[in-house]
């Protein structure tokens, strides 16, 4: 399976262990209105916090999108030896107004990021090495949020095209 869409699962509070789909290239998660946290279940971390170190989470995923997740507050960082999303090229976060924190820190192939109406998402730290691979960033939302995020991104050496 290379494409999965999870739509309008309003009463689900956790994601299924999608890491078990190793050929996945496109993942859209939308309308999970009760979900507040994405964490180890998403990466299929086994009990006790360990993973099978020879198995990488989402090794071929190229596009990841989250749409209309009004109560999503936390995207917990991956804890393990092999970072997920080694082939991720596009990340879209749309209408996730309560999401706090930073984007994932190990996105070595990222080329496009779109952020829309994610008012509490913190600016990405400028010391991340993957910022140099970005070709386009689109940020939409309130002027205050857009200005804060734009300032953070302009402080690095990235040659990306910034759409605000």
For residues 57 and 84, the answer to whether their CB atoms sit within 8 Å is: yes
Question: How many whole angstroms separate alpha carbon 95 and alpha carbon 92?
Answer: 10
Q: Which residues of the chain have a pLDDT value below 70?
A: 44-55, 122-132, 142-164
What pLDDT score does 155 carry? 46
Backbone angles phi, psi at 43, to 5 degrees: -90, -5
What pLDDT score does 151 carry? 43
What pLDDT score does 16 carry? 82
Question: How many whole angstroms separate alpha carbon 15 and alpha carbon 18?
Answer: 8
What pLDDT score does 140 carry? 82
Q: For strand 136-140 and strand 112-116, is the pairing parallel, antiparallel, or unpaired?
A: parallel
Three-class SS state of 85: coil
> Domain extents for the chain?
3-163
CATH of domain 3-163: 3.80.10
Strand ranges across the sheet with 3-7:
3-7, 26-30, 63-67, 90-94, 112-116, 136-140, 161-163
What pLDDT score does 32 carry? 94
Count the helices and strands in the chain (H runs, E runs): 2, 9
């Amino acid at each position: 399976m290379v494409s999965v869409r999870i739509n309008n699962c309003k009463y689900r509070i956790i994601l299924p262990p999608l890491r078990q789909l190793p050929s996945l290239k496109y993942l859209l998660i939308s309308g999970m209105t009760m979900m507040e946290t994405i964490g180890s279940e998403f990466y299929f971390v086994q009990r006790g916090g360990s993973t099978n170190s020879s198995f990488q989470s989402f090794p071929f995923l190229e596009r990841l999108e989250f749409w209309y997740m009004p109560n999503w507050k936390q995207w917990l960082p991956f804890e393990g030896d092999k970072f997920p999303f080694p082939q991720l090229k596009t990340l879209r976060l749309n209408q996730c107004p309560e999401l706090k924190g930073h984007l994932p820190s190990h996105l070595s192939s990222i080329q496009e990021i779109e952020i829309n109406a994610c008012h509490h998402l913190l600016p990405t730290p400028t010391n991340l090495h993957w910022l140099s691979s970005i070709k386009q960033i689109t940020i939409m939302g309130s002027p205050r949020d857009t200005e804060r995020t734009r300032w953070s991104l302009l402080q690095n050496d990235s040659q990306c095209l910034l759409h605000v």
